[in-house]
């Protein structure tokens, strides 16, 4: 039987590595799992799997040719040029071995590699047909399999190359071929044998097209899903950029009036008519504390937006950073219901980033809003990752909230414009190469788990995540 090899863009992008991570729909347990988007170009990653499919299909072709040649030569008694046909088979096997070795060393492939391999398969098919009757061989319609796969898998120009080459080979085989040396007993049944051969070839073509086209369609859908995830990520990041510009502009504008308020309140504290009134002094102190908090928030926004770069980064440790973070959050909100559990183990130096602190504040604020009586923050180390777990005793996440976790304006508060906090958290963690997972606790309440690579926090790898 002549060669059947072809290739296809069957692969979807592998979801590993340095990719961006976003929240996905819930699984059977109600937990969202991170979806990663590969950094490799999707088409080139897909082509690697195309070549892998080509290798599988060519092995099928080799086995089919061996069985067919053996049956025709030994059972039907038709004399064939076995040496030449075996050499063509050996060439296909050699090409497969080379392709497998090349595949192990490559991370991407372009359409021209696929076109070259497909043309080599057309050449192998042509050689076998030339040695076994040319255009009179009922397996001549296997060219349609090559053309079909080429139309499915290659771009328009490459597909027409395959079509033209296949047509020229077919036309050439009408004139140039080695006639079959049929036994006298088969000459009277030649037409019937040709019809049977055409039936076998039709069944073979149909089966291979169904099997491999189904696999191709499935993998192309996976590729399209990967492209959709990349487009969604780009849209979200564009949304964040616009929000960041707006927040940075607002922070710059707020800086002057906040500084003026701070000066005025300091002057009031020194005025004798006010200094003698304890109640007024207490209120002025509270106002100064609130103004100072607003200035800290503005400073954090500017640093997250990339401003104020003249300030030197603050070197701290994991335990020191989170200890200070917990105290700042408790003090700024006058809350003592936060339970802090540190199971990180051996301490390590990191760079303190105010944007990272603000990101964690967002998660804690959300938990405290639905569970004001108890919130727990636990940190631990999992290999090379820092894992933060924020638990609460609130009503938990609704199913639609989990299904759209991390998307903008996805809020359970029923107010327009809400739901940006967790959206910013998911994207900030994603920029650091981490993941965010949300689930409902069996005992009630919700759990939000943030996983961050320690390498992104270490000294020398300082990143702003805002």
Q: Nearest Cα to 440, choosing from 408, 398, 380, 377?
A: 398
**pLDDT at 304 (0 to 100):** 54
**Among candidate residues 227, 238, 129, 204, the one with its CA nearest the CA of residue 173:** 129
Three-state SS letters, the chain: CCCCCCCCCCCCCCCCCCCEEEEEEECCCCCEEEEEECCCCHHHHHHHHHHHHHHHHHHHHHHHHHHHHHHHHHHCCCECCHHHHHHHHHHHHHHHHHHHHHHHHCCCCCHHHHHHHHHHHHHHHHHHHHCCCHHHCHHHHHHHHHHHHHHHHCCHHHHHHHHHHHHHHHHHHHHCCCCCECCHHHHCCHHHHHHHHHHHHHHHHHHHHHHHHHHHHHHHHHHHHHHHHHHHHHHHHHHHHHHHHHHHHHHHHHHHHHHHHHHHHHHHHHCHHHHCCHHHHHHHHHHHHHHHHHHHHHHHHHHHCCCCCCCCCEEEEHHHHHHHHHHHHHHHHCCCCEEEEEECCCCCEEEECHHHHHHHHHHHHHHHHHCCCCEEEEEEEECCEEEEEEEECCCCCCHHHHHCCCCCCCCCCCCCCCCCHHHHHHHHHHHCCCEEEEEECCCCCEEEEEEEEHHHCCCCCCCCCC
- Quick one: pLDDT at residue 410? 57
Identify the pLDDT of residue 464: 43
Give the confidence band of 46 by pLDDT, cuts at 50, 70, 90. Answer: low
For residue 59, the model assigns a pLDDT of: 84
Half-sphere exposure for 252 (CA within 13 Å, toward CB): 9
The whole-number pLDDT of residue 448 equals 92
Instruction: Calculate mean pLDDT across residues 451-465.
Output: 70
Parallel, antiparallel or unpaired: strands 435-440 and 20-26: unpaired
440 pLDDT band (50/70/90 cuts)?
very high
pLDDT at 269 over 70: yes
Half-sphere exposure of 314 (CA within 13 A, CB side): 13
| pLDDT at 48 > cutoff 60 | yes
3-state secondary structure 405-431: CCCCCCCCCCCCCCCCHHHHHHHHHHH
Q: What is the pLDDT of residue 165?
A: 94
pLDDT tier for residue 270 given thresholds of 50, 70 and 90: confident
pLDDT at 171: 93
* Least confident interval from 14-23, 199-208, 284-293, 327-336: 14-23
Confidence of residue 249 (pLDDT cuts 50, 70, 90): low
If one compares 413 and 385, the residue with the highest pLDDT of the two is 385
| 430's tokens | 């994603």
Question: Residue range 182-207: average pLDDT?
Answer: 79
Would you call 172 exposed, middle or buried from its count of C-beta atoms within 10 A (0-12, 13-18, 19+)? middle
The alpha carbons of the chain give a radius of gyration, in whole angstroms, of 34
Burial of 212 (0-12, 13-18, 19+ CB in 10 A): buried
* β-pairing verdict for 385-392 and 446-453: antiparallel
463, 305 in Cβ contact below 8 A? Answer: no
Structure-token pair, residue 82: 């076995």
Average pLDDT, the chain: 76
C-alpha 236/C-alpha 234 separation (Å) is 5
**Domain 314-456 fold:** Heat Shock Protein 90 (3.30.565)
| pTM of model > 0.85 | no
CB 36 within 8 A of CB 438: no
d(CA 7, CA 65): 18
Query: How are beta strands 32-37 and 314-317 bridged, if at all?
Result: unpaired
What number is the average pLDDT over the span 209-223? Answer: 77
Alpha-carbon gap, residue 34 to 212, rounded angstroms:
30
pLDDT at residue 113, as a whole number: 77
**Of residues 232 and 66, more confidently modeled:** 66
Mean pLDDT for 83-112 is 80
The Cα 53–Cα 177 span in angstroms is: 31
Confidence class for position 45, pLDDT limits 50, 70, 90: low
**pLDDT tens digits along 101-150:** 877 776 555 677 778 888 988 999 899 899 988 888 888 888 888 888 88
- Confidence category of residue 322, pLDDT binned at 50, 70, 90: very high
What is the distance between the alpha carbons of residues 81 and 85, in angstroms, rounded to a whole number? 6
Alpha-carbon distance of 257 to 253, in angstroms, equals 8
CA 251/CA 308 separation, integer angstroms? 12
The span from the CA of 83 to the CA of 105, in Å, is 33
Instruction: Report percent pLDDT > 90 for the chain.
Output: 14
Question: What is the rounded average pLDDT of the residues 297-321?
Answer: 66
Report for 86-100, 206-220, 411-425: range of highest mean pLDDT: 86-100
Residue 340: pLDDT band (50, 70, 90) is very high
β-partners of residue 75 are none
What are the tens digits of pLDDT across the range 325-334? 999 888 877 7
The top-scoring range by mean pLDDT among 7-11, 155-159, 163-167, 354-358 is 163-167
Backbone angles phi, psi at 4, to 5 degrees: -120, 5
- The whole-angstrom separation of Cα 410 and Cα 421 is 9
């Amino acid at each position: 039987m002549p060669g059947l090899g072809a290739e296809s863009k069957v692969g979807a992008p592998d979801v590993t590595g340095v990719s961006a991570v976003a929240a996905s729909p819930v699984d059977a347990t109600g937990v969202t799992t991170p979806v990663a988007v590969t950094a490799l170009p999707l088409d080139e990653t897909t082509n690697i799997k195309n070549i892998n499919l080509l290798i599988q299909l060519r092995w099928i072709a080799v086995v089919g040719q061996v069985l067919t040649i053996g049956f025709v030569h030994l059972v039907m008694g038709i004399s064939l040029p076995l040496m030449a046909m075996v050499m063509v088979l050996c060439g296909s096997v050699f090409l497969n071995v080379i392709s497998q070795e090349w595949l192990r060393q490559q991370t991407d492939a372009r359409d021209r590699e696929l076109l070259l391999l497909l043309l080599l398969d057309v050449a192998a098919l042509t050689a076998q047909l030339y040695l076994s009757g040319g255009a009179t061989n009922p397996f001549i319609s296997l060219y349609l399999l090559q053309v079909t796969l080429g139309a499915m898998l290659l771009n328009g120009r490459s597909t027409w190359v395959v079509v033209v080459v296949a047509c020229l080979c077919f036309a050439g085989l009408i004139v140039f071929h080695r006639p079959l040396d049929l036994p006298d007993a088969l000459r009277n049944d030649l037409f019937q044998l040709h019809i049977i051969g055409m039936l076998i070839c039709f069944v073979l073509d149909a089966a291979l097209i169904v099997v491999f086209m189904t696999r191709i369609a499935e993998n192309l859908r996976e590729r399209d899903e990967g492209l959709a995830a990349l487009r969604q990520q780009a849209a979200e990041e564009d949304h964040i950029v616009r929000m960041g510009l707006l927040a940075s502009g607002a922070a710059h504008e707020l800086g002057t009036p906040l500084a003026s308020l701070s000066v005025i309140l300091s002057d009031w504290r020194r005025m004798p008519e006010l200094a003698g009134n304890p109640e007024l002094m207490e209120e002025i102190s509270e106002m100064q504390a609130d103004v100072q908090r607003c200035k800290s928030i503005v400073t954090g926004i500017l640093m997250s937006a990339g401003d104020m770069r003249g300030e030197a980064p603050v070197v701290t440790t994991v335990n020191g950073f989170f200890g200070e973070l917990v105290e700042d959050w408790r003090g700024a909100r006058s809350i003592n219901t936060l339970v802090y559990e540190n199971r990180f183990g051996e301490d390590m130096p990191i760079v303190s980033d105010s944007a990272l602190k603000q990101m964690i504040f967002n998660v804690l604020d959300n938990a405290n809003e639905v569970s004001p009586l108890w919130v727990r923050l636990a940190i631990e180390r999992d290999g090379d990752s820092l894992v933060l777990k924020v638990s609460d005793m609130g009503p938990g996440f609704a199913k639609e909230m989990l299904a759209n976790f991390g998307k903008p304006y996805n809020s359970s508060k029923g107010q327009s414009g809400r739901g940006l906090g967790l959206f910013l958290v998911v994207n900030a963690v994603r920029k650091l190469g981490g993941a965010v997972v949300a689930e409902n606790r069996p005992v009630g309440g919700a759990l939000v788990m943030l996983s961050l690579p320690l390498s992104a926090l270490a000294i020398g790898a300082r990143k702003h995540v805002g």
